[in-house]
Copies of this chain bind each other. A is one copy, B any other.
Amino acid sequence: MKNRVITISREFGSGGRTIGKMVAESLNIPCYDAEIIQKIAQESGFSEGYIQEAGEYAPGGVLSNVFSNRAYGPTNEDYLWKIQYQIITDLAQKGPCVIVGRCADYILRDTADCLKVFIHAGLDFRAKRIVEVYGEREASPEQRLRDKDKRRAAYHRFYTDKKWGQYRNYHIALDSGVLGLERCAQIIESLY
């Protein structure tokens, strides 16, 4: 029998990770995010910081680097993708859970009963939030958000062949900036 898994894709700064934790706590199931990174780190021998960067984002330059160097075989990113794929598959087989990011919706398409969620928010809301929550102090948080979004989209597209944020790929998409994080969490819980 397939386990029920809530997968949350999200724009950077939209509060998707926070919503995932709220949902998991309320449903009393685990939420995987940093844990996955750590496990990837342990199993692969890559430094944790490198994995955090490469594990979800296409390298700088968005499209140029992500496609490079494969003439000489798989890249480091390709190895990370494989490790991550296996870990997420294993976690979902252990029991019901929430998984934030990491293309889990795609990875678990055949092996879990997924509720596929996408969280987004306006640039103003996210810019304000990354300054408050992450203490980002850059001159232009908006530019940083756009860059992060682009890299997530490029990574997602490359490994899953599906467009990140395309409504067809999600059962529910929510604007956390307008609806609020708590309300988003309540809706997701009610659907579980």
Contacts and interface: CB of A to CB of B under 8 A. Distances in A.
Contact of A178 (B122, B171, B179): B171
A173 B190 CA distance: 16
A174 B118 CA distance: 10
A37 B122 CA distance: 33
Contact of A167 (B167, B183, B191): B167
A118 B183 CA distance: 18
Do most interface residues of chain A lie in helix, strand or loop, or is the interface mixed?
mixed
Copies of this chain, count: 2
A30 interface: no
Given A171-B175, A172-B172, A175-B170, A190 B187 contact: yes
Interface string A153-176: 000000000000111101111110
Bin the interface of chain A by size: 10 to 19
A17 interface: no
Interface string A177-192: 0110001000100110
Contacts of A102: none
A121 to B, nearest CB: 9
A166 B168 CA distance: 10
B172 A179 contact: yes
B167 A171 contact: no
A167 B168 contact: no
A190 B187 CA distance: 9
Interface string A124-155: 00000000000000000000000000000000
Interface string A13-56: 00000000000000000000000000000000000000000000
Contacts of A118: 167, 173
A173 B167 contact: yes
B168 A171 contact: no
